Amino acid sequence: MDHSQSGTNHSDSLLFLTDEQLRKGIEAMFFAYRGFTADPDRILEGMDYGRAHHRALHFIHRSPGTTVNNLLAILNVTKQSLNRVLRSLIEDGLVESRVGRTDKRERHLHLTTNGAALERSLSDAQRARMRAAYRAAGPGAVQGFRQVLEAMMDAEARRQYQSLKENPS
Amino acid sequence: MDHSQSGTNHSDSLLFLTDEQLRKGIEAMFFAYRGFTADPDRILEGMDYGRAHHRALHFIHRSPGTTVNNLLAILNVTKQSLNRVLRSLIEDGLVESRVGRTDKRERHLHLTTNGAALERSLSDAQRARMRAAYRAAGPGAVQGFRQVLEAMMDAEARRQYQSLKENPS
DNA sequence: ATTGGAAAGTCAACAAGGCTGACTTAAAAT
DNA sequence: ATTTTAAGTCAGCCTTGTTGACTTTCCAAT
């Protein structure tokens, strides 16, 4: 790769993207993601839970009855890592694991009443921030935001994101 | 908070934001951040370094001569945590720590030639993805993306983000 | 000039949440 | 009947975050 221009190029594309513009985008992602996770993190600190538990609760809420394997594919962690999280959620009565009726090897995951309550308090906080950000940025910004994020995903993540999109619970 | 409508509200704002729209934004952040960090993570795996080292290299490159305290404020970690990372970078000759000339308690951080080379390979990869995402999303999307991210930051992070903005290296 | 406090660094101990590898059980698929 | 798949578990390791206690250096105010 040619570094003599540090990658800046004003001539070979539809957009004029300077390294400076790209770097601001990178830094915006870094600082914004911190804000994005801040409220749920605050709620969970002091409980025995962390961000990993939040993710599990979110996607079980999103796709009730999902299997462990489905969840592994979405979260992109090892089953040992997920299992530690799920075990504590099940032991604490926030998640229920039901043996599959057609395929008894599978475990189908559901939130209990308590689990749904915690998930809601976490997602309320996160939605409140997202709502405030959307409103501050204005209607036009929302679409651009989602378009850039979607284009930033790996192909497999985008597939998962879109299939969640098409399958609203 | 009233959950009877799960937070959906079509009447008290400029924007019509359903919980579904907000949740898609949340999931977009989750999947996109994974893509955002994927390329540098791949480069660093196998080296003794991780994401924490990447962050330090990025902001030292961004603000050469920054002090340890400045870096702590930006990264929002404890000095013990940062110190472990900085120590390995200094030992390996990627970062240089210079005693301050006016205030000798301070250490001013600079990338060495080797440090700058690694930082460049990391940021080249990250910029390439950001550039591709921007181009795929189109010119209008870029501004919306940045506006929403900026509005999503905590006040202090936004201040830091903007002061980096106003002070291009 | 002394002292108080800030900046930096270090040590020890710990926790969350990733990982690999090896292994079991049960059930489905071939 | 055998192989493969889904789930779960145990042990051990790594990175990166945390607290708390402590030292050294050095500026700045009294």
Size of interface A-B (CB pairs under 8 A): 220
pLDDT given for residue B167 in this prediction? 63
CA distance A29 to B51: 14
| pLDDT interval class at B46 (50, 70, 90) | confident
Given the cut 0.85, state whether the ipTM is greater than it.
yes
Angle between helices B19-44 and A19-44 (to 10 degrees): 110
pLDDT given for residue A167 in this prediction? 64
- Is it the case that residue A4 has pLDDT exceeding 50? no
Q: Are B153 and A133 in contact (CB under 8 A)?
A: no
- B76–A28 C-beta distance less than 8 A: no
Q: Which of residues 103-122 of B touch strand C (CB under 7 A)?
A: 103, 105-107
- Is it the case that residue B5 has pLDDT exceeding 90? no
DSSP assignment of A137-165: H-HHHHHHHHHHHHHHS-HHHHHHHHHHH
Q: Which of residues 41-100 of B touch strand D (CB under 7 A)?
A: 48-53, 76-78, 80-81, 84-85, 99
Q: For B2, which residue in chain A has the nearest alpha carbon?
A: A124
Please provide the average confidence, as pLDDT, over all residues in chain B.
Answer: 89
pLDDT given for residue B69 in this prediction? 92
Of the listed ranges A3-12, A53-62, B93-102, the least confidently predicted one is: A3-12
What pLDDT digit, counting tens, does each position of A141-162 carry?
999 999 999 999 999 999 999 9
- Is it the case that residue A104 has pLDDT exceeding 80? yes
- B127–A19 C-beta distance less than 8 A: yes
Protein CA A55 to sugar C1' C8 (Å): 37
CA distance B62 to B73: 14
Protein CA B103 to sugar C1' D30 (Å): 21
CA distance B155 to A104: 50
pLDDT given for residue A119 in this prediction? 98
Please provide the average confidence, as pLDDT, over all residues in chain A.
Answer: 90
Q: For B14, which residue in chain A has the nearest alpha carbon?
A: A135
Comparing CA positions, the residue from B32, B63, B59, B35 lying closest to residue B119 is B59
pLDDT given for residue A55 in this prediction? 98
- A148–B142 C-beta distance less than 8 A: yes
What pLDDT digit, counting tens, does each position of A65-103 carry?
999 999 999 999 999 999 999 999 999 999 999 999 999
Shortest alpha-carbon distance between residue B27 and chain A (Å): 7
Q: How many percent of chain B have pLDDT more than 90? A: 77
CATH topology of domain A19-166: Arc Repressor Mutant, subunit A (1.10.10)
Shortest alpha-carbon distance between residue A153 and chain B (Å): 5
A85 touches strand C (CB under 7 A): yes
Q: For B35, which residue in chain A has the nearest alpha carbon?
A: A153
pLDDT given for residue A3 in this prediction? 41
pLDDT given for residue B12 in this prediction? 43
- Is it the case that residue A134 has pLDDT exceeding 50? yes
Where in chain A are the domains? Answer: 19-166
- Is it the case that residue A129 has pLDDT exceeding 60? yes
- Residues B112-131 have a mean pLDDT of 97
- B147–A141 C-beta distance less than 8 A: yes
| pLDDT interval class at B3 (50, 70, 90) | very low
pLDDT given for residue B150 in this prediction? 97
Taking the domain B19-137, which CATH number applies?
1.10.10.10
- Is it the case that residue B91 has pLDDT exceeding 90? yes
pLDDT given for residue A110 in this prediction? 98
Q: Residue B160 in 3-state DSSP?
A: helix
What pLDDT digit, counting tens, does each position of A18-57 carry?
999 999 999 999 999 999 999 999 999 889 899 999 999 9
pLDDT given for residue B105 in this prediction? 85
- A150–B145 C-beta distance less than 8 A: no
